[in-house]
Amino acid sequence: MGFVRSAFRGSSTSSLATPEKWVEDWFAGGGSHNPSGAFVSEETALHYAPFFAGVQIIAGDIGGLPLPVYERLERGKRRAFDHPLYQVLHDQANPYMTAVAFRETMQGHALTWKGAYAYIERNGAGQVDSLWPLNPAKIKPCKIHDANGRGKFTLYYRYTDPNGRQVILLPDEVLPVAGLGGTGVEGYSLVSLARGSIGLGMATERYGSAFFANGSRPGGVLTHPSKLSEGARERMRTDWENLHRGLDRASRVAILEEGVEWHQIGIPPEDAQFLETRRFQVTEMARWLRIPPHKIADLERATFGNIEHQGLEYVTSTLRIWLVRWEQAILMRLFTMAERRRYFSEHLVDALLRGDSKSRNEAYAIGRNWGWLSADDIRERENMNPLPDGRGEVYLVPLNMVPAPRPDEEPTVPERIARVLRGRGAEARRRTASTFAPLIVDADTRLAKLERAEVKALVRRHLSDDDGRGVRLASPAAFLAAVWHLYDTTIRAKTVERWTPPLQALMVEIIADAIADVGFDGEVDLSRWLAAYVDSHADYRVNSAYGQIRAELEKAGTEDGDAAAAAVLALLDTWVDERPQRTADWQTSQLPNATARETWKAAGVPAVRWVTDGDSCPYCVALDGREVAIDDAFATKGDELDGDGVERLTVKRTIRHPPLHPKCGCGMAPA
């Protein structure tokens, strides 16, 4: 690994009479015997199933959590994919270990020994290039205390490499992760503290193994009516053990002779206590490791109702402190002083905190309705791709929520609530309408394709120059008559059919917003108004489309049928490519304002005010703030509007509500 910087040689005062602690540990193999008689060390403790299961579950959960590097923003954060440490912590710790394997190994060390340590390998620029776990049995934190006794100390690490050489590692070369400890530098060894409990569990396992391996007692005793000689007793014991001793000979049939009788007995009390001890030691290991018993397969007191809550408690009570230790150790040792204000690492624990499907969806609904989750936020948490065309990026706004009044303000009443809301109602309606634009585009695209197919059939029938026999068939008059019949019947009906669903859905949303703007608590039914609105726009579409087709035909002339046909078909292609978006832009501006005006009329609002969007044309700015009665117009046909530094605009239609022109983003508010 290339981290040996300087050999360390020191004198030792250890002797056989006064051995140092490391000498005792070396002769004991790193562990010790305890009253149970079992030898317990950091290595042998992992042979005890409940302890290993607990270590494995904590290490696996922490190792498996994503650990990205983030950059702090003015508000919020973003993943710092370009930071060199991102790949080390999230993907690959070193050339031979994945990030998961590295962190799982380190966490296993931290739970078993006094701490986990990794060597930090840096590149020429001083950035972390890789992390290498060190053998926790071979490293020792050392402190040189301040001679003045003020509690300060200098820290270094003494490490024995695999070749037996001792080296000194400085703090910026070591990543330490330790649990609770008395020095603050290294933690307590959990195995040392729990040696009695682990030893008792290991002892009960050894007792159970011996019980089954040497089980010469098949649950009873043999009695003979007379006294047996020493030889006879020995022969009977030998024969009985040959027949029944061991698992392979259990439950064999016994043939008794010479008056020998069999008396069955139950499990002796000490054996029954052995079973209870084994069960209790599983719970004891869960207590030492601070994990719910069901995590190590102790389901004796588990229910379907409490396991989910225990799982959440496991994250908050068991894992959280370890995650914080990891994150703070990374911040302190892997980031430079200058980087700490800008970058940090943080585990993603959402996957461990996920509830069942019903609970998750209820939580998502709350976040969506209250405006702090978008559809794409929810889909990302469910491992789904964002909605196309940015449709999932919109946040809903609960318009019935207003800032709390100051103590010197009079009590809030519906009229005052409405007054606060009016300043943001137009913007909210714009955001709501934008979410319906893709639906309107889709409906009008299908309508335009239908028009192209139907008119194309009429072009082939009436504008073709030749039927293959040299007979002229072109008939512009018949073609225009057929086109008008098509638009006045089929296209008109299809326009109403295709437009009504998205426009009706948008209208319902706008009604709710407009009601909230004025604090109205009644019902507003605009279904008949919407039908008239759609019919009038369908009429405009039919007349406009027919007029454009007739204009193209006249422009191409009636002498050349092929030229006329090409002109009409080119117009139809343009409609398919461009008209749906123009329709959506117009309707998402026109319908919300028209609907809001009709809603306020139903609510009894007497007047309305023109509101620009802050980036409007000079003519819209001229209307900004203008108030009119709710039934009056902001501008009538023929009026001229002054623009700042531009020529006057002649109004071509009566304007009772925005938009003033295509792509106008203005809105209205109750006056």
The pLDDT tens digits for 162-186 are 888 888 898 889 999 998 887 888 8
Q: Which two tokens stand for residue 45?
A: 């403790």
Short-list 397, 375, 369, 378, CA closest to 388: 375
The CA distance from 558 to 550, in Å, is 11
Q: What is the pTM of this model?
A: 0.50
Q: What are phi and psi of 243, to 5 degrees?
A: -85, -35
What pLDDT does residue 298 have?
Answer: 65
Ranges 44-58, 378-392, 409-423, 603-617, most confident: 44-58
What pLDDT does residue 306 have?
Answer: 60
Short-list 589, 90, 97, 138, CA closest to 347: 90
Kindly report whether the peptide bond that precedes residue 269 is cis, defined as omega within 30 degrees of 0: no
* Whether pLDDT at 425 is above 80: no
Confidence band of 195 (pLDDT split at 50, 70, 90): confident
The CA distance from 582 to 158, in Å, is 74
* Full 3-state SS string of 312-355: HHHHHHHHHHHHHHHHHHHHHHCCCCCHHHCEEECCCCHHHHCC
How many CA atoms lie less than 13 Å away from 234 in the CB half-sphere? 3
The CA distance from 671 to 604, in Å, is 12
Between 296 and 172, the higher pLDDT residue: 172
Short-list 451, 476, 481, CA closest to 556: 476
The CA distance from 315 to 321, in Å, is 9
The CA distance from 285 to 54, in Å, is 8
Between 46 and 204, the higher pLDDT residue: 46
CB contact at 8 A, 649 and 640? yes
Q: What are phi and psi of 115, to 5 degrees?
A: 170, 170
CB contact at 8 A, 257 and 235? no
What pLDDT does residue 162 have?
Answer: 83
Confidence band of 124 (pLDDT split at 50, 70, 90): confident
The CA distance from 289 to 298, in Å, is 14
What pLDDT does residue 257 have?
Answer: 63
- State the distance between the two ends of the chain, measured CA to CA, in whole angstroms: 75
Residue whose tokens read 């092929």: 562
pLDDT in tens, 226-247: 776 777 777 777 777 776 666 5
